[in-house]
Chain A
Amino acid sequence: DSGVTQTPKHLITATGQRVTLRCSPRSGDLSVYWYQQSLDQGLQFLIQYYNGEERAKGNILERFSAQQFPDLHSELNLSSLELGDSALYFCASSVEVGSHEQFFGPGTRLTVL
């Protein structure tokens, strides 16, 4: 158990819908990262927050957005969902920004029908 929690574990929804994935980092970690993992593309870095501020953006679509709240939990919002958005979404946390080990949560499996 990494100490990072993600909810829900599974999510099934329809195309065009909007969903919110939630992540609670390890106690004391200020950085939160979001990743998408699909079979054909591997693990793709989406976005990073540090203590409430956006620090880095990766391959995140405009239909996706995220934020980190004052209590340090984070939410990833996915809207206008497409079939291709079906994937495992991981949240990770680390104590600081930069080259520090990340602790990954168990992931949310999103299925778009």
Chain B
Amino acid sequence: EDQVTQSPEALRLQEGESSSLNCSYTVSGLRGLFWYRQDPGKGPEFLFTLYSAGEEKEKERLKATLTKKESFLHITAPKPEDSATYLCAVQAIGTYKYIFGTGTRLKVLA
């Protein structure tokens, strides 16, 4: 069964303290892996799509990487405004269904 697991569930960082969020996935064949950011009470906001192992994408302080079994979202020198829940999702080849992980709640303290 296709599955997405994110860790840690919650993370508290000091401003400027870099860290990584993990997304482990199990799919029969990966069509794409997606990262979203969600602020409380709002809809998720798209960050990245990764398609194949070895691919990397960057946006400001965020960098997403992909291997055959997991993806990492690296946050470099985070700021308080980076506080949010980060969601990972996958779509398997042969289906149009999206499977989301339960997210990592990130809190960056000033």
Does the CB pair B97–A106 fall under 8 Å? Answer: no
**Other-chain residue from B46, B97, B100, B103 in contact with A101 (beta carbon distance below 8 A):** B46
B contacts with A: majority SS: strand
Does the CB pair B100–A44 fall under 8 Å? Answer: yes
Q: Distance in Å from the Cβ of B68 to the closest Cβ of chain A? A: 17
Residues of A within 8 A of B34 (CB): 99, 101-102
Question: How many of chain A's residues have a CB under 8 angstroms from any CB in B?
Answer: 25
Does the CB pair A45–B97 fall under 8 Å? Answer: yes
A104 to B37, CA, bound (A): 11
Quick one: CB contact mask for B69-110 with A, threshold 8 Å, 1 for yes? 000000000000000000101010001111111110000000
Among B34, B36, B43: residue with most chain A CB under 10 A: B43
Does the CB pair B51–A99 fall under 8 Å? Answer: yes
Residues of A within 8 A of B89 (CB): 43
A105 is an interface residue with CB less than 8 A from chain B: yes
Does the CB pair B96–A97 fall under 8 Å? Answer: yes
Binding site for A on B (CB under 8 A): 31-32, 34, 36, 41-46, 49, 51, 87, 89, 91, 95-103
